């Protein structure tokens, strides 16, 4: 009987240990929000001549593209940065003047996000 109780306790401890994971700490990514942000977001003030996009990738990189179309042709830039989410804040590393930018965000819907400290305009999912 003693061995049966001991075996049950050992199994219970093992099950509890395996159910714990390293993402239980305060630095974990909120995967539900992380996944919602994955994709291409076009700033709402776009027109036929100007386009500004952020593309959040699952590998925690973000592609920042800016395109201007004039009579002389198209000028565009594309830069890749690292991004992360912690405590409901998005941080994009080395973004503005090679400094980290941290912004709160608000998901209006699955199709609209506001990046409060990054732009006065909303971003629309593409």
* Digit-coded pLDDT (tens) for 69-112: 999 999 999 999 999 998 889 999 999 888 999 999 998 888 99
pLDDT value at residue 28: 44
Q: What is the pLDDT of residue 13?
A: 66
**CATH code of the domain made up of 27-125:** 2.40.128.360
The pLDDT value recorded for residue 19 is: 53
21 versus 124: the higher-pLDDT residue is 124
Domain limits, the chain: 27-125
Q: What is the DSSP letter of 94?
A: E
Long-range contact pairs involving 117-122 (C-beta distance under 8 Å, separation at least 24): 118/92, 119/43, 121/43, 121/44, 121/45, 122/43, 122/44
**Higher pLDDT among residues 78 and 15, named by residue:** 78
| Model pTM above 0.85 | no
Listed residue (96, 90, 79) closest to 113, CA to CA:
90
Q: 17-74: per-residue pLDDT in tens?
A: 555 544 444 444 444 567 889 999 999 999 999 999 999 999 999 999 999 999 999 9
DSSP bridge partners of 114? 106, 122
């Amino acid at each position: 009987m003693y061995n049966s109780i001991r075996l049950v306790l050992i199994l219970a401890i093992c099950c509890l240990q395996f159910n714990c994971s390293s993402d239980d700490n305060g630095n974990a990514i909120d995967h539900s929000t992380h996944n919602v942000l994955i994709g291409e977001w076009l700033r709402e003030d776009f027109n036929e001549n100007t386009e500004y996009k952020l593309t959040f990738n699952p590998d925690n990189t973000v592609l920042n593209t800016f395109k201007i179309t004039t009579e002389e042709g198209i000028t565009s830039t594309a830069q890749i940065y690292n991004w992360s989410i912690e405590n409901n804040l998005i941080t994009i590393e080395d973004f503005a003047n090679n400094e980290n930018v941290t912004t709160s965000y608000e998901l209006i819907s699955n199709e609209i996000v506001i990046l409060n400290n990054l732009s006065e305009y909303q971003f629309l999912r593409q």
